[in-house]
Amino acid sequence: MAFTTPSTGFSAAQALRAQAAPLRSRTNRRLAQLAESVPLAWESLAANRMRSLLTMLGVIIGIAAVIAMVTIGRGAQTQTVNQLRSLGSNLLFIQSGVATTGSPASQGAGSATTLTWEDAKAIASASSAVAAVAPVLNRRAQVVYGDRNTSTFVVGTTPDYVTVRDFLPLSGRFFNTDDLLRATRVAVLGQTVVDSLGLNAESALQTTVRIQGEPFTVIGTLEYKGVTAFRDMDDQVLIPLTTMASRIVGVNAISGIALDAISVSARQPEQMEAAEFQITNLLRRRHGIQPPKQDDFLVRSQADLVSASTSVAKVFTALLGGSAAISLLVGGIGIMNIMLVSVSERTREIGIRRAIGARSSDILQQFLSESVVLSCCGGLAGVSLGVVASALINHAFGWRVGMSLDAVLISLLFCMAIGVFFGSYPARKAARLDPIEALRST
């Protein structure tokens, strides 16, 4: 049996429905007013098409610029990360220490020769988390072929460089352990060097080039790697480390071969931290480093480089998007300006509407609706233009960056906010007009 109140006999559910009826009625009335004000706002804007279009132009350009700039920023970020990852997998970079000149100023990491080939061999044999090690000794030198020459990086390394840095030959072969032990004068050319010398991947094989006056036989060319944030990875010549030390750099057999850096590949991504810990402790023992003495080497992981590049790219994207968003504010000011002009032109209309029963809230809603419709129409047109611009940018740069949906949604919400914010003052001004004074307006 339904519960009834003693005084009226109505059920509790009926009482709740009776209390909610006025609230539903007010809500439905407001929705009906909103549904009516939007078509009226559209008719008012359509009556002045050219003026409305010119007013929307600032919003259209602003939205399109934001989407296009975010696409450029994210495309550059994706490209940088892909290029860094193409240098190898699970990479650790060990650089020599910092050289000083007796003053507080230093010459930067890698300026001191604190790493040796023996260090690299010790890392390969003693670190369980390490898969492969490639010592690096490089110098900038002149490479000559016939009447062509180019200044490039000559890198002395070992056959493990192929595994560690994922540098596969495009043609020919990479030098092997026998070449390393016998210090043979063989070279593998990067594609930028091949192009600079007027060769190609096939014609370069078995040709003789001169590196710092020494003849070298080209046995292979490297696959394309592209330009990273650091340098052109195709602008280099790879030769055996022993040949580099004896023919290009010159080394005292007693002191061993000093290195500029050591590239290390961890066995698994989850072993990166373990490999870094093992390498750090091993080099500290070998170099006799005890706290509080600072390390004379620097260990960086590929993840650190990717993270740093990503952070820089995100800041770059935010700056581009923020710069483009300024034009949205300019578009909002244009909307406020045109709405103030509209209020001045329609003063008599406002007076007539007030005289036949329109309330201040109705006038406020009408002009605010016009402002929001104007801004949103500009926003939709700007999104369409931004989508086209993003597709053209991706095509021009060869990127495969999808549409930034969050940028689109944020831009549209920002458009609505601009319509409300910059339309509020003209709408309030219209709502506060004295009906009598408004009717007197000519």
- The angle at the Cα of 58, spanning 53 to 62, to the nearest 5 degrees, equals 130
The answer to whether 297 and 113 are in contact (CB under 8 A) is no
| Mean pLDDT (whole number) for 265-274 | 85
d(CA 413, CA 25): 29
pLDDT band at 77 (very low <50, low <70, confident <90, very high): confident
The model's pTM is 0.59
pLDDT for res 7: 45
- The burial class, CB within 10 Å (0-12 / 13-18 / 19+), for 343 is buried
Taking only the tens place, the pLDDT of each residue in 31-69 is: 555 566 667 767 777 777 888 888 888 888 888 888 888
d(CA 324, CA 339): 24
Taking only the tens place, the pLDDT of each residue in 104-146 is: 444 444 446 788 999 999 999 998 999 999 999 999 999 999 8
- Which residues on neighbouring strands pair with residue 43, listed in sequence order? none
The answer to whether 138 and 260 are in contact (CB under 8 A) is yes
Looking at per-residue pLDDT, the higher value among 345 and 33 belongs to 345
Please tell me whether residue 130 adopts helix, strand or coil conformation.
strand
Taking only the tens place, the pLDDT of each residue in 389-401 is: 888 877 777 766 6
Q: How many Cα atoms occupy the beta-carbon half-sphere of 147 within 13 Å?
A: 0
pLDDT for res 386: 85
Looking at per-residue pLDDT, the higher value among 282 and 404 belongs to 282
Q: How many Cα atoms occupy the beta-carbon half-sphere of 233 within 13 Å?
A: 20
Handedness of CA 340, 346, 347, 353 (dihedral sign): negative
The answer to whether 369 and 34 are in contact (CB under 8 A) is yes
Among candidate residues 180, 202, 326, 371, the one with its CA nearest the CA of residue 257: 180
Looking at per-residue pLDDT, the higher value among 10 and 298 belongs to 298
d(CA 69, CA 97): 40
Among candidate residues 294, 153, 157, 308, the one with its CA nearest the CA of residue 234: 153
What does pLDDT average to over the chain? 79
pLDDT for res 369: 83
